[in-house]
Amino acid sequence: VASAAELKQERVKGKNVAVIDVLRATTVITTALMNGAKEIIPTEEVSTAFEIYSKYHSGEALLGGERNAVRIEGFHLANSPFEYMEDVVHHKTIILTTTNGTRALMGSLTANNIIVASFLNATAIATWLGEQDIDSTIVCAGSAEIYTLEDALCAGMIAKIMEERFGATLSDFAFTLKFLYEGYEGNIMSALTHCQHAQLLLSKGFRSDVEYCLQKDITDIIPRLNEGAITIER
């Protein structure tokens, strides 16, 4: 008998895993690294984030993340990509805790490699996965353990590129998501009406965040989680 968490760890064991939380954790991680952050340390608990932060000298690290989509008390940054610009994050360690995204990352620790995917770097992620010799699993963070459309569309985009450019054999589910993505390919924004988490963010005034997170291929960096920290793999 295994817990749900153990079962998940079992499914990603020894594989290359791309973790997606389009709105907004994996987009934020990618943005922070694009803007020169030294590393991102993902944690599940707020208390662990404070503990890790206390080990840094003043000015070396920042606490970032959200609960219920807003900044956590005592944290420097929330979970909007626009807070992770170069003047704020350059050379800094970011200790990040979010409701779903950092949990999905921590739930994949038995994987061979864990890389961080979003629409911002989807083609680069598909290329990196496609070039490797071992099987890949795409983990969609979803919201409160429930499927979300925006993560599924991003997974579909990655699956499509892997199949078309690298001849990857898709699982039935990945094949389904590829078709889902093709239905929205020309206008991802039009899917938003069906995205509950996007609607929540829109209702809290985060329209520009949502639009930012749906931009495709603005970077080719591959963020990789290794020994507790996410840095640029290439």
Task: Please give the residue ranges that form the binding site for ligand MLT (CB under 6 A).
Answer: 21, 23-25, 66, 69, 79, 98-101, 201
Quote the least distance from Cβ 132 to ligand MLT, whole Å. Answer: 26
234 DSSP assignment: -
Min separation Cβ 182 and ligand MLT, Å: 26
3-state secondary structure string, 57-97?
A: CCCCEEEEEEECCEECCCCCECCCHHHCCHHHHCCCEEEEE
Query: Which of 101, 223 has the CB closer to ligand MLT?
Result: 101
- CA dihedral for 124, 130, 29, 203, sign (positive or negative): positive
The CA distance from 52 to 60, in Å, is: 12
| Residues β-bridged to residue 198 | none
By beta-carbon proximity to ligand MLT, the closer residue of 96 and 158 is: 96
Q: Among residues 26 and 136, whose Cβ is nearest to ligand MLT? A: 26
- For ligand MLT, which is the closer residue by CB, 25 or 162? 25
Token couple for 144: 């409160």
Name the minimum Å distance from CB 116 to ligand MLT: 12
Shortest CB 69 distance to ligand MLT, Å: 5
According to DSSP, residue 35 is labeled T
Residues 195 and 119: their CA atoms lie apart, in Å, by: 15
* Spatial distance between the Cα atoms of 224 and 33, rounded to a whole number of angstroms: 11
Question: Quick one: 170 or 200, whose CB is closer to ligand MLT?
Answer: 200
What's the min distance (Å) between Cβ of 88 and ligand MLT? Answer: 17
| Nearest to ligand MLT of 16, 100 (CB atom) | 100
In the complex, the smallest distance separating the C-beta of residue 112 from ligand MLT, rounded to whole angstroms, is 23
CB of 103 to ligand MLT, least distance (A): 7
The closest alpha carbon to 201, from 157, 140, 148, 146, belongs to 148
* DSSP sequence for 98-122: -SSHHHHHHTTTTSSEEEEE-GGGH
Q: The tokens of 69 are what?
A: 């989509």
Cβ nearer to ligand MLT, comparing 96 with 168:
96
